[in-house]
Amino acid sequence: METGQAIIDATTQAEILQYLSEKLRDCYVYPDTAENICIRLQQHLEAGDYNDIREGEYLALALTMDMQDVAHDEHVWLRWHAEPLPDYAGQLRDHQAWQDERRSEARLDNYGIHKVEWLPGNVGYVDIRYFHRAEWGSEIVSAAMNFLANAQGLIFDLRQCQGGYPDMIALVCSYLFGDEPVHLDSIYWRDEDVTQEYWTTPGVASVHFEDKPVYVLISKVTFSGGEAFAYSLQACQRATLIGEQTGGGAHPGASYRIHPHFEAFIPIGRVINPITGANWEGRGVTPDIPVPAEQALELVCKLALEDREK
C-alpha cells in the first residue's frame, strides 16, 4: 500500500479484518467480547458495508465505530498512518524506533505537566494532561512537586487528562502518602495471564504532602489514566474529587501493527482496585462534589481557603 491517499481495495479490507480479528481473539481482555466483535466485523464485511470505503482513515473510523458498538469500550480503536509502521509482530511500544518517537512526543508535551502554579492561600496547582512513563518524566514531576513543597494544599487538574501509564500515576501518588507503601491498584493482563500490583514508593518522592488536603478536578473529558489517578485517591479517601462524571475507560491496552499503515489499540488488561474490588469501566468516576467542569477550579480554590481557616 502506498502512502498518501492510498486506495483500500476489497482484498486489502479482508486482510485488515483478518489480522485485526486475530489480534482481538489473542489479546482482548474479554475473549467472549472479542469473539462477538470479530463476528460483527465479518458480518459487516460480507454485507458489503465497507465496499464504498476506499480511504484508510475512513476505514479505520468505520471499524473503530463498529468495534466500540459491540464492546462499548472506547479503548479499542483502529488508526491509519500515512507512513508505514515498523514491521513488528509484538506490542509496538516494545519496538525501539516506535518508543523513541513516543519519548520525543512526551518530551514536547513536558511529560504531561502543563502548568504548575502557586495560588492564593498557599495552595499548589498542577495541570496534568497525560501520565507519560515514569522513567521519562520523573525529573519533571520532582521539579513540580519541589516547587510546591511549602503548599498547604494541592490541586491536581485532570479535566483534560486522557490517559497514561500506571507507573507514572504511582510516582505522583507517592508524594501524597507517608512512609508506608500504599497499594493503589492491580491490573490483570490477559496477554500474559498475570496480575501486576502498583504501589506508591515513598523513597522516590523528594517531598511529601501526606498531611495536606488534596483536591482533584475531573470532567467528562477525563479518561483512562486520569480516571485511574482520581479513582485510586478517592478509594483511599485521600482526595476530594470535584467536577463531572468521567468518561469510563478502565481497560489498559497496547498498540499493534495489523497492516503496514494500520495501528490497532487493543485493551489487554483490566484494573482491580484493592479497596473497591472493582473499577470505573463504562461508568466513570463520580465526583464527591458535582459541578460543571468550567466552575471546578473556582470552587476548589474557595474550598481550599475554607479548609485553611478551620
Structural domain contains residue 267? no
Bridge partners of 115, per DSSP, are 127
The domain of 122 spans 100-249+284-309
Q: What are phi and psi of 3, to 5 degrees?
A: -75, 175
Task: Please indicate, yes or no, whether residues 221 and 73 belong to a single structural domain of this protein.
Answer: no
- The pLDDT of residue 293 is 96
Q: Supply the CATH number for residue 155's domain.
A: 3.90.226.10
Task: Please indicate, yes or no, whether residues 49 and 163 belong to a single structural domain of this protein.
Answer: no
- The pLDDT of residue 7 is 72
Give the closest residue to 177 by CA, choosing from 152, 149, 143, 201: 201
CB 196 within 8 A of CB 183: no
Structural domain contains residue 43? yes
CB 73 within 8 A of CB 267: yes
Structural domain contains residue 278? no
Give the closest residue to 293 by CA, choosing from 237, 227, 215, 221: 221
Task: Please indicate, yes or no, whether residues 156 and 61 belong to a single structural domain of this protein.
Answer: no
Task: Please indicate, yes or no, whether residues 112 and 177 belong to a single structural domain of this protein.
Answer: yes
> How many separate domains does the chain show?
2
Task: Please indicate, yes or no, whether residues 195 and 236 belong to a single structural domain of this protein.
Answer: yes
Structural domain contains residue 91? no
- To the question of pTM greater than 0.75 for the whole model, the response is yes
User: Other CB atoms closer than 10 Å to residue 275's CB: what's the count?
Assistant: 14
Give the closest residue to 200 by CA, choosing from 226, 216, 178: 178
Task: Please indicate, yes or no, whether residues 30 and 114 belong to a single structural domain of this protein.
Answer: no
To the nearest 10°, report the CA torsion of 41, 227, 225, 107.
120
Task: Please indicate, yes or no, whether residues 122 and 188 belong to a single structural domain of this protein.
Answer: yes
The CA distance from 112 to 132, in Å, is 6
Task: Please indicate, yes or no, whether residues 153 and 15 belong to a single structural domain of this protein.
Answer: no
Structural domain contains residue 220? yes
Q: What are phi and psi of 125, to 5 degrees?
A: -130, 130
Give the closest residue to 55 by CA, choosing from 95, 1, 100: 1
**Chain Cα centroid distance, residue 232:** 14
Residues of the chain short of pLDDT 70, as ranges, are 1-6, 307-310
Structural domain contains residue 178? yes
Q: Quote the cell numbers at residue 243.
A: 467536577
- The pLDDT of residue 6 is 64
